[in-house]
Amino acid sequence: MFGYLILTILVFTLVAYFVGQTAGRSFALADRQTHSLPGYHGAFVAVWVGIPALVLALLWVALQQPVIDRLVIGSLPGALTSGATPAQLSLILSEIKNVAAGQIFAEPSPDVKAAADLYVRWQDIARWAMFAAAVALMLLALVIARSKLAPRFRARTGVERFITGMIIFCSVVAILTTVGIIASLVYESLEFFRRVPLHEFVFGTRWEPQMAIREDQVAGAGAFGVIPVFTGTLLIASIAMLVAVPIGLFTAIYLVEYANENVRRVVKPVLEVLAGIPSVVYGFFAVLTVAPAVRAAGGAIGIVMSPNSALVAGGVMGIMIIPFISSLSDDALKAVPRTMRDGSLAMGATRAETMIKVLLPAAIPGIMGGVLLGLSRAIGETMIVVMAAGLIATLTFNPLDSVTTVTVQIVTMLVGDTAFDSPKTLAAFALGLMLFLVTLTLNVIALRIVQKFREQYD
């Protein structure tokens, strides 16, 4: 039904467009002094007809269900509803809905049967009412909008205003979503900090979140010190950056300055493929291929290392980040005007001198942007570390040791049996908030750097 309604609205909108356009044409034929082109008259009427009906339909669909539920509950005999908790009520309601949909497991009571019939009837009525209301609204809008059209009517301005409004609406949706996510993070984190004090969380050096969630479980008392988890994240992210920055940057330099067209035609798409590999694939590459190899290599020269070493997770993550850094640096280097390059070469500078002294300084904002974007990725990356890094939070800077990261901890806390009011679960939100703050800070720094240098180098 809703689909038909949308279709009807579309048809009406189209008709409205042609009505408006025809009117506009007739104005144009009669008089050269019309304000707007016929297309704008058409679009104006179409907007008037289509948008209110669409909004009405969406609101109707959103509000219909609760109203009908309320009506059906109200129709039930008092004996059934009096003294029932909301949970029991919703149980009765879902039974009614099941019966209405024909999914009957046991013979329902006559009351429920009657309510189900009522439910079906209300739904039918609501559907038709929605249809009728929408069509009436559209007809009304068509008449009003058409009556507004006149040779000097500013249909173009009206359409322009609609487009502005739509654009604002879209950006507001994006912003509101962000605000909503942050709000839920902050809310749950506050719940967490009510149970675990903030200073214990921020400065604690022990992370043992596997506490009992029921009385009969045997588990640790729980310790929520975030420092070892963050050092793990930073260790792995630093290793990743140590791999990705030099390789990515030098790849970009090679592609921009040294490679000829043929090489570039092959290498660039290959790098893009690297960027397209899902991180879970990198994850099992790390676990199944790199980790055993690194461990064997370590064993051969007498180094004992853990199978889940930070080195492996960070190294593989670095490979994943290479395309980010190389492609952003590539863009930044290419954006340096050719005249700079020519100027330096014409001074008798070699290509390497030109690169180091002129191109890199000029491209630094873009390159820094790429590096910090890569770092944000490294810190927020989940899949590789879930698979290749450890679960135990050790406070260490030894890359051969097993460490855990913030993202890994969030995952392990939220999978499996969880109670939503236990600090263990809520800690995930606190960690998420911390992670968000860290990456936000990095992004702000990146923006700052880019702005600062842009002023200087334009």
Partner 1 sequence: MNVMQQATTSPIEIRTPKMPAMEGRAVSVFYGQKQALYDVSLAIERNQVTSLIGPSGCGKSTFLRCLNRMNDTIDICRVTGEIRLDDEDIYNRDIDVVELRARVGMVFQKPNPFPKSIYENVAYGPRIHGLTRSKIELDEIVTSSLRRAGLFDEVKDRLNEPGTGLSGGQQQRLCIARAIATRPEVLLMDEPCSALDPIATAVIEELIDELRENFTIVIVTHSMQQAARVSQKTAFFHLGKLIEEGHTSDLFTNPKNKQTQDYITGRIG
Under the rule (CB under 8 A), what is the footprint of partner 1? 260-261, 337, 339-350, 353, 357-358, 361-362, 456-458
Name the nearest CA neighbour of 238 among 434, 439, 378.
Answer: 378
H helices of 336-422, in order, are: 338-346, 351-354, 360-380, 383-388, 406-414
Cβ(16)–Cβ(46) under 8 Å? yes
Closer by beta carbon to partner 1, 368 or else 408: 368
Closer by beta carbon to partner 1, 28 or else 349: 349
Closer by beta carbon to partner 1, 46 or else 358: 358
Q: For Cα atoms 440, 442, 443, give the angle at the middle one, nearest 5 degrees.
A: 65
Cβ(307)–Cβ(230) under 8 Å? no
Residues 6+ apart with CB under 8 A from 456: none
Q: What distance in Å separates the CA atoms of residue 32 and residue 50, rounded to the nearest whole number?
A: 29
At its nearest, how many Å lie between partner 1 and the CB of residue 336?
A: 9
At its nearest, how many Å lie between partner 1 and the CB of residue 330?
A: 18
Closer by beta carbon to partner 1, 94 or else 350: 350
Closer by beta carbon to partner 1, 107 or else 458: 458
Name the nearest CA neighbour of 24 among 45, 53, 51.
Answer: 45
Closer by beta carbon to partner 1, 12 or else 453: 453
At its nearest, how many Å lie between partner 1 and the CB of residue 329?
A: 17
Closer by beta carbon to partner 1, 152 or else 454: 454
Paired with 207 in beta bridges are 224
For residue 130, the SS3 value is helix
Q: What distance in Å separates the CA atoms of residue 178 and residue 23, rounded to the nearest whole number?
A: 44
At its nearest, how many Å lie between partner 1 and the CB of residue 327?
A: 22
Cβ(446)–Cβ(368) under 8 Å? yes
The structure tokens listed for 200 are: 């214990």
At its nearest, how many Å lie between partner 1 and the CB of residue 357?
A: 7
The structure tokens listed for 36 are: 């707007």
At its nearest, how many Å lie between partner 1 and the CB of residue 344?
A: 7
Closer by beta carbon to partner 1, 333 or else 408: 333
Q: Helix count (H) and strand count (E) of the chain?
A: 18, 2
Cβ(422)–Cβ(211) under 8 Å? yes
Q: What distance in Å separates the CA atoms of residue 157 and residue 171, rounded to the nearest whole number?
A: 21
Name the nearest CA neighbour of 68 among 16, 26, 18, 129.
Answer: 129
Q: What distance in Å separates the CA atoms of residue 360 and residue 366, rounded to the nearest whole number?
A: 10
CB atoms within 10 A of CB 220: 11
Q: What distance in Å separates the CA atoms of residue 285 and residue 274, rounded to the nearest whole number?
A: 13
Closer by beta carbon to partner 1, 161 or else 454: 454
Cβ(120)–Cβ(100) under 8 Å? yes
Closer by beta carbon to partner 1, 14 or else 267: 267
At its nearest, how many Å lie between partner 1 and the CB of residue 254?
A: 15
The structure tokens listed for 212 are: 């009992």
Closer by beta carbon to partner 1, 364 or else 387: 364
At its nearest, how many Å lie between partner 1 and the CB of residue 326?
A: 22
For the CA atoms of 133, 135, 139, 141, the dihedral, rounded to the nearest 10 degrees, stands at 60
The structure tokens listed for 160 are: 């322009």
